[in-house]
Amino acid sequence: MLLGTETLLPSDAKLSLLMLRWKALTVDFRQWQARNPEVISTNPDVLLELGKKELQKVKNDLEMVLSTVQSKNKQLEEDLKREQQWNEEQKQMLETLNKMEEEANTEVEHPSTKSLKTRELNGLKNKVLKLQTYKKELWSALAEFLDKHFPPLEEGENIKKSLAGGCLSFQNSSAEPAVELIALKDILEMLINKSMTTPHEPYITINESFWPSYIELLLRYGVALRHPEDPNRMRLQAYHK
């Protein structure tokens, strides 16, 4: 109606639109008033069963929402922990670089040599910051990939994964685990941290919280290696060598 031959002012067009909406709502209101509610049954037992089914449905929906919120909160806590760890590393690195800069400034050198030292120090600082940023991006990309393709395991949930174009698929048993299973990204983080902090002893101990299918996956595709003398220990593959 507003696209007619007559050109209305903006205020008139708005008023006309509101009047049309008011008329449509009035028609809907009259239709709802004219309707009579349909009584399903007057039997109290039938009404009681219907009420129980409806409450059970609401309960299931609320439990699903709760599970989703808890999973999201757990993921946010893990992200916050990684961010805090990265922040601490940045602070330590900055303190080290500041100390190196102070030591370089206190040395008695010729102006040209001092300027060269400062440029070298600034270049080293920029390289370290780039490496730290690249490391954070790699961690984020790895965590996003694992969260998408290997979500955290939940009790009573049948999990089915397809790896390497369908070369490997597995499913956990229907029995609920006795302990909470560790996510795949947490296992990889443990392997990486162990390899970096103690390279002379990079092995971690496999316990009941490690899902056997994840261990089989890491070993089969060469991501991790077992200890030659202890099958309950494994380490990350030494890709840097």
Write the pLDDT tens digit of every residue in 27-48.
Answer: 888 888 887 766 667 778 888 8
Same domain, 134 and 86: yes
Please say whether the dihedral angle defined by the alpha carbons of residues 37, 42, 44 and 50, taken in this order, is positive or negative.
negative
| pLDDT score of 56 | 92
The answer on 201 and 170 residing in a single domain is yes
**Inside any domain, residue 5:** no
pLDDT digits (tens, 9 = 90+) for 76-119: 898 888 889 888 888 888 888 888 877 777 665 555 555 666 77
Burial of 214 (0-12, 13-18, 19+ CB in 10 A): buried
Q: Which of 149, 181, 211 is the last residue in one of the domains? A: 149
What are the start-end ranges of the E strands in the chain?
160-163, 168-171, 204-205, 224-226, 233-236
In the predicted structure, residue 155 carries a pLDDT above the cut 90: no
Whole-number pLDDT of residue 240: 62
For residues 74 and 140, membership in a common domain is answered with: yes
At 186, the amino acid letter reads D
Among candidate residues 100, 128, 149, the one where a domain is terminated: 149
pLDDT above 60: residue 170: no
> How many CB atoms lie under 10 A from the CB of residue 231?
9
The band of 154, judged by pLDDT with boundaries at 50, 70 and 90, is: low
Q: Is the pLDDT of residue 234 over 90?
A: yes
For the cut 80, the answer to whether the pLDDT of residue 200 exceeds it is yes
pLDDT above 90 (res 137): no
Do 172 and 101 reside in the same domain of the chain?
A: no
Q: Per mean pLDDT, which range of 162-166, 190-194, 231-235 is the poorest?
A: 162-166
Q: Quick one: angle between helices 111-149 and 184-197, nearest 10?
A: 150
Tell me what the pLDDT averaged over the chain comes to.
Answer: 78
Asked if 50 and 135 sit in the same domain, the reply is: yes
User: Distance between CA 104 and CA 115 in Å, rounded?
Assistant: 10
pLDDT at 173 over 60: no
CA dist., res. 161 & res. 39, Å (int): 48
User: According to the model, what pLDDT value does residue 171 have?
Assistant: 43
Residue 60 and residue 135 in one domain: yes
The pLDDT, as a whole number, for residue 204 is 92
HSE of 210, CA atoms in CB hemisphere, 13 A: 17
Give the total number of structural domains in the chain: 2
What is the pTM for the complete model shown?
0.42
Together in a domain, 185 and 240: yes
Identify the domain containing residue 131 by its residue range. 46-149
Residue where the block lists tokens 């984020």: 140
Q: How far apart are CA 125 and CA 122, in angstroms?
A: 5
Q: Are residue 59 and residue 125 in the same domain, yes or no?
A: yes
Rounded CA-CA distance 10/13 in Å is 5
Q: What single letter denotes the amino acid at residue 7?
A: T
Cβ atoms of residues 190 and 224 within 8 Å: no
User: Is pLDDT at 156 greater than 90 in this prediction?
Assistant: no
If one compares 214 and 104, the residue with the highest pLDDT of the two is: 214
Which of 125, 149, 173 delimits the end of a domain?
A: 149
- Residue 70: both structure tokens together: 């808890």
| Identity of the amino acid at 199 | P
Kindly state the average pLDDT of the residues 154-167.
42
The torsion of the CA quartet 155, 161, 163, 167, rounded to 10 degrees, works out to 120
Question: So what's the pLDDT on residue 163?
Answer: 39
